[in-house]
Amino acid sequence: MEAIFKLRRFLDAPPKPLKAKREVCELCGVELAAEHGHVIDLDSRRMMCCCRPCYLLFTHPGAAQGKFRSVPQRYARIADLAMGDAQWDGLDIPVGMAFFLQNSRAGRTLAFYPSPAGATESGLPMEAWEGMVAANPELGTLEPDVEALLLSRRRGRSEVESWIVPVDACYELVGRIRQHWRGFEGGEEAWLEIDAFFAGLPARAGGEAGD
C-alpha cells in the first residue's frame, strides 16, 4: 500500500517544464547569444552558427586552407543599378527575385531564386553576368562564396531593387518564403513577409559588421 501511495504522489505531481534547447557554436560547442555570426563550409556549402572567437578565425580567405569562411555583414544598396527589361529577361529568372553568388569551387557565378522548395538554381549565361559587372563596377567588390547580389522586382513595381548582402541573408529570405508560401501565388502572408524583409534592409545597412 505504501508503494501505491508513493506512485500516486508521482502521478499527481505536475510535469516539469521542458527546458528550451540552447543553441551552441557548431565549431566549439559554446552557448550562443541570440545574435551570432555564421561560417560556411565551402566544400559542402553548409552554413554553421558560430561564436565570435570562431567567427574571427575564418575572416580571411586562406584560413583553414580555404575550407571555412566567415560570412561578413555588409549590406549596401545599389541605388542606380544599370539594368533594363532586356537585361532582366536575359537572366532567365522565372520569378521577381533572385540572388547571385560567386562560387569559388565551381569557378563561376550562380543564380538562385527563392521558391517554396528552397533556393532553386537557375541557368545563368556567363556573358549575362559579365555584362552586368561591366555596367555596374560595384558588383566586382562581391566577396566570393559569402556575399551575394540580391535583386527584387516585387509586385506592381517596375524598378529593380538591388542590394549587396551576406549570403546568410539570402537564405533567411528563402526560409521566410518556404514557411509562409501558400498556393501558386504565395498568398498575402508570404508577400507581407517578403515586404518586411526588404523594408528591414536599410536598418541592417546602418548597423555594424560582426556577429
Q: Which residues contact 23 (CB under 8 A, 6 or more apart)?
A: 31, 32, 36, 49
Query: pLDDT tens digits for 93-145?
Result: 777 889 999 999 888 899 998 878 888 888 788 888 888 899 999 999 999 99
Q: What is the C-alpha separation between 116 and 126, in angstroms, rounded?
A: 26
Q: Could you tell me the pTM of the whole model?
A: 0.81
Q: What is the C-alpha separation between 138 and 148, in angstroms, rounded?
A: 12
Q: What does the DSSP 8-state code read for residue 34? A: S
Angle at the Cα of 114 from the Cα atoms of 84 and 140, rounded to 5 degrees: 50
Q: Is the dihedral of CA 195, 201, 203, 204 positive or negative?
A: positive
- Give residue limits of the domains in the chain: 1-70, 76-205
